[in-house]
Amino acid sequence: MEKGAIIGAALEAGFARARVLALALPGGEESGNAAAANHRLDTPSLLVTALPYGQDTTPPPGARDLAIAPFARRNYYREAVRRLQKLARDFRELYGREKDEYALKRHYRIFCNSPVPEKPLAAACGLGVMGRNGLIITPEAGSLVILAALTLPFPLEGDGPLDGEDGAYCEKCGVPPPCMAACPTGAIRGDGYISLEKCVQWYASGNGESVPPEVAAKWGQRLYGCTACQDACVRNRRPVPAAACSGGLLPPFMNGEELLKLPDNELKARFRGSALDLSWISPAVIRRNIRIALNI
């Protein structure tokens, strides 16, 4: 099988970028990618993909309207999985003709928003570079992408990290870089890491027992998702259009006071099937976000 055909199929499926990470070297040695090894990605090759979700910096229309970040307005995670499932079916049918083993469903596993650390894997194969804002920046769609990966049961020539101009996006930014200047809480350290205990997005996802007052003071009109560092990033100035996705539709803004009146079951129903329909984003987390945003 040709790596070009695999990548081409992924691009045809609507991913903005796709690369191959080789995890087995000729002769049976492991490539030693630490992230893959730690998570026992026992597979010769990994197809790593980026699905674009576009950008929207429209401010909330009213004081009680709270924003849902563009990446969560549709269930792009599920959409990426759906597209990879279709690719896996195609690959099983096509390459299963060459070798029975390649037709087996169990060899094609999908990782998206999972415990497997997709960012180091994406950086290792040049899907993008790790930006100072802690996100993978792709040449085609900046950091406005959902990362997803598919294991492949056959060895392929791997792609390497980005180098040259594409590998040095952050080095070209001024001091402080726009992402750091835009971060409302000073969470971007500048060395490629985020101080999670200062990051609005981290708390909005339900982390932390309580939100420190200095973070709450900078929360803004956010129901879910902080994108200030992405909105400011020079690599996101020409975002590619969002991939078509009809699942898990949420409005860009929701009235916080109305949501607070809902009992748990109704609140959950509002987000069912959406990107916020996750075990760790409970009604209590949503209410916490709303109360901070409305300062009540």
CA dihedral 258, 285, 115, 51 (to 10 degrees): 20
Which CB, 87 or 275, lies closer to ligand SF4?
275
Site string for ligand SF4, 12-51 (x = CB under 6 A): ----------------------------------------
CB contact at 8 A, 23 and 36: yes
* CB of 72 vs ligand SF4, minimal distance in Å: 13
Q: Which residues contact 111 (CB under 8 A, 6 or more apart)?
A: 118, 148, 149, 150
Considering only residues 47 through 76, tell me which ones interact with ligand SF4, judged by CB under 6 A.
Answer: none
Q: Which residues of 153-190 are buried (b: 16+ CB within 10 A; e: fewer)?
A: bbbbebbebbeeeebebbeebeeebbbbebbbbebbee
Could you give the CA distance from residue 51 to residue 14 in angstroms, rounded to a whole number?
Answer: 7
**Cα(first)–Cα(last) distance of the chain, in Å?**
59
Which CB, 145 or 194, lies closer to ligand SF4?
194
* CB of 108 vs ligand SF4, minimal distance in Å: 33
Site string for ligand SF4, 159-198 (x = CB under 6 A): ----------xx--x---xxx---xxx-xx-----x----
Site string for ligand SF4, 195-234 (x = CB under 6 A): ----xxx------------------------x-xx---xx
Please give the backbone phi and psi of residue 20, each rounded to the nearest 5 degrees, phi first.
-115, 130
Could you give the CA distance from residue 110 to residue 152 in angstroms, rounded to a whole number?
Answer: 10
* CB of 187 vs ligand SF4, minimal distance in Å: 4
256 binds ligand SF4 (CB under 6 A): no
HEC assignment per residue over 134-176: CCEEECCCECCEEEEEEEECCCCCCCCCCCHHHHHCHHHCCCC
Which CB, 5 or 196, lies closer to ligand SF4?
196
* CB of 224 vs ligand SF4, minimal distance in Å: 12
SS3 state of residue 228 = helix
* CB of 75 vs ligand SF4, minimal distance in Å: 20
Site string for ligand SF4, 108-137 (x = CB under 6 A): -----------------------xxx----
Which residues make up the interface to ligand SF4 (CB under 6 A)?
131-133, 169-170, 173, 177-179, 183-185, 187-188, 194, 199-201, 226, 228-229, 233-235
